[in-house]
């Protein structure tokens, strides 16, 4: 439990920016799907036990989020099926157009990729 709190504390930093959709960081107008970004970050943390953009310093985490440099899920879960990485590649894509546009689409992608239900 303490380890999970530490991971979440690292993810949130002082202002929670590591859970924020990166589109706001590059001057684009946030879309209605903005809340899906942190949901995908938390999902990654639940499966991998680590933040998808973990780095040595808060500034490095910020830079990894801003540039879309996610740690591959296989780094933490070598036996994870490729469909899991595909889900997170899409859910945490830097370009908002590449991400699920709604919670329903995210849930559908999750079912197909992670749970592998049609």
DSSP label of 101:
S
Query: Rg of the chain's alpha carbons, rounded to an integer?
Result: 14
Kindly tell me the burial class for residue 73, based on how many C-beta atoms sit within 10 Å of its own C-beta (0-12, 13-18, 19 or more). buried
What is the tens place of the pLDDT at every residue in 40-80? Answer: 999 999 999 999 999 988 889 888 988 989 999 999 999 99
What is the tens place of the pLDDT at every residue in 9-45? Answer: 444 444 455 566 666 555 666 666 777 888 999 999 9
Name the pTM for this structure. Answer: 0.76
Question: How many angstroms from the chain centroid is the CA of residue 17?
Answer: 12
Looking at residue 4, its pLDDT comes to: 44
Mean pLDDT, range 101-107, rounded to an integer: 92
Mean pLDDT, range 69-92, rounded to an integer: 95
Looking at residue 91, its pLDDT comes to: 95
- In the chain, what are the domains? 2-115 (1.10.510.10)
């Amino acid at each position: 439990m303490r380890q999970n709190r530490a991971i979440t504390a690292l993810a949130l930093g002082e202002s929670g920016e590591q859970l924020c959709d990166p589109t706001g960081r590059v001057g684009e107008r946030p879309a209605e799907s903005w809340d899906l970004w942190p949901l995908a970050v938390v999902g990654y943390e639940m499966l991998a036990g680590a933040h998808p953009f973990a780095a040595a310093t808060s500034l490095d985490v910020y830079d990894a989020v801003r540039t879309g440099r996610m740690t591959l899920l296989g780094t933490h879960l070598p036996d994870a099926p490729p469909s899991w990485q595909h889900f997170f590649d899409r859910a945490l894509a830097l370009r908002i157009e590449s991400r699920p546009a709604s919670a329903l689409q995210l849930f559908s992608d999750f079912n197909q990729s992670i749970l592998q239900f049609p």
